[in-house]
Amino acid sequence: MLTKGPAKKVTIFINEDTQHHMTALHDSIMSFLMHKGVSGATATRAYAGFGSHQMLHTPKIEVLAQHLPIRIEFVETPEKVEEILPTLYEMVTDGLIEVQDTTVIKLARKSTRPEPKLPHERKAGHAKLLRVFIGEADKWHGEPLYDAIVKKLRMMDIAGATVYRGILGYGAKGHQHKKSFFHVSRDMPIMLSVIDSPEKIMAAAAAIEDMLEDGLIVISDADIVRMVRSQKVAEAPDATDSNR
């Protein structure tokens, strides 16, 4: 099963009219990939192209329109790619197969089944609280810095982050930031609050520090109490218990 981390990306270039056992080759390849349990694959039809035969295939020339290139691409684990690659090699008698190292940074699957309501579970323990103080006008590659930080934290699998917008404040430079009826400040103070394990908080702090030009990072100890849905369905009581 494809998971987050190192993976292989396979790209296959063939012609649309290439046949395999009386069936279009791209259909045969897609059926084979689905049969072998590949997580997902996409076949796209190109507008124009040419290959080793040095012949330009384009819809502008009717006789060559049926020879347009087809690109099939999928990402899978190295083990799965090693398993299916020999068969793909035999199927593609006129074309190109490319394999590249890649990294899966996010794998999201939306369940089509309604999730059963599970009992709540209380979790408590020690954690770290990270607070970042910046200005609303601060930027990172053209976007608001606070927005960029939240996106970065999501990619790092941080449990959660909250952004607070202040109504009054000043920093180390002594400049007062204030919003009033007659004066609307565009650089109000912003605070981001993050709670997670010590290891993740230290990694997050290091990443955020590289993004700051002017700001403050504060890390403190925290005790957490969290109510979450249990990952296991509560076991039904033993039928014999009702007879006791």
Strand order from edge to edge, sheet including 5-15:
41-45, 69-76, 5-15, 96-104
Q: Which domain holds residue 141?
A: 120-229
Give one DSSP letter per residue of 50-74, joined into a string: --TT---B-TTSGGGGGG-EEEEEE
Determine contact, residues 107/4, Cβ cutoff 8 Å. yes
Residue 115 lies in a domain: no
Residue 104, pLDDT > 50, answer yes
Q: What is the model's pLDDT at position 59?
A: 56
78, 104, 130 — which closes off a domain? Answer: 104
| Residue whose C-alpha is closest to residue 186's, from 165, 213, 171, 161 | 165
| Residue whose C-alpha is closest to residue 107's, from 157, 73, 51, 141 | 157
Tokens of 163: 């952004």
The CATH number that applies at residue 54 is 3.30.70.120
Same domain, 215 and 186: yes
Residue 110 lies in a domain: no
Residue 239 lies in a domain: no
Q: What is the model's pLDDT at position 105?
A: 86
Task: Find which of 53-62, 119-128, 181-190 is predicted with most confidence, using mean pLDDT.
Answer: 119-128
pLDDT (mean) for 102-108: 86
Please name the helix (run of DSSP H) or strand (run of DSSP E) that holds residue 8, with its range, or none. Answer: strand 5-15
Q: What is the model's pLDDT at position 107?
A: 80
- b/e burial code for range 206-215 (CB count within 10 A of at least 16 → b): eebeebbeeb
Q: What is the model's pLDDT at position 106?
A: 81
Q: What is the model's pLDDT at position 57?
A: 57
Tokens of 216: 């403050």
Same domain, 100 and 124: no
Residue 204 lies in a domain: yes
3-class DSSP state of 93: coil
Same domain, 223 and 127: yes
Q: What is the model's pLDDT at position 129?
A: 94
* Rounded Cα–Cα distance for residues 87 and 89 (Å): 5
| Confidence band for 191, pLDDT divided at 50, 70 and 90 | very high
Q: For the segment 125-165, what is each residue's pLDDT rounded down to a tens digit? A: 889 999 999 988 899 998 999 999 999 999 898 988 999 99
Q: What is the model's pLDDT at position 211?
A: 93
Same domain, 28 and 84: yes
- Least trusted range by pLDDT, from 73-87, 100-114, 163-177, 186-200: 163-177
Same domain, 144 and 43: no
Residue 238 lies in a domain: no
Q: For the segment 2-33, what is each residue's pLDDT rounded down to a tens digit? A: 888 999 999 999 988 889 988 999 999 999 99
Determine contact, residues 9/85, Cβ cutoff 8 Å. no
Same domain, 187 and 217: yes
Hey, how many other C-beta atoms are within 10 angstroms of the C-beta on 185?
18
* Rounded Cα–Cα distance for residues 203 and 177 (Å): 30
* Rounded Cα–Cα distance for residues 90 and 18 (Å): 14
3-class DSSP state of 168: strand
Domains of the chain: total: 2
| Residue whose C-alpha is closest to residue 128's, from 200, 186, 20 | 200
104, 135, 155 — which closes off a domain? Answer: 104
Same domain, 92 and 132: no
Q: What is the model's pLDDT at position 230?
A: 57
Q: What is the model's pLDDT at position 43?
A: 93
Residue 191 lies in a domain: yes
Same domain, 169 and 216: yes
Determine contact, residues 57/67, Cβ cutoff 8 Å. yes
Residue 111 lies in a domain: no
Task: Find which of 2-16, 106-120, 167-181, 217-231 is predicted with most confidence, using mean pLDDT.
Answer: 2-16
Same domain, 40 and 99: yes
Same domain, 164 and 69: no
Same domain, 158 and 82: no
Same domain, 84 and 143: no
Residue 33 lies in a domain: yes
Instruction: Tell me the whole-structure pTM to 2 decimals.
Output: 0.57
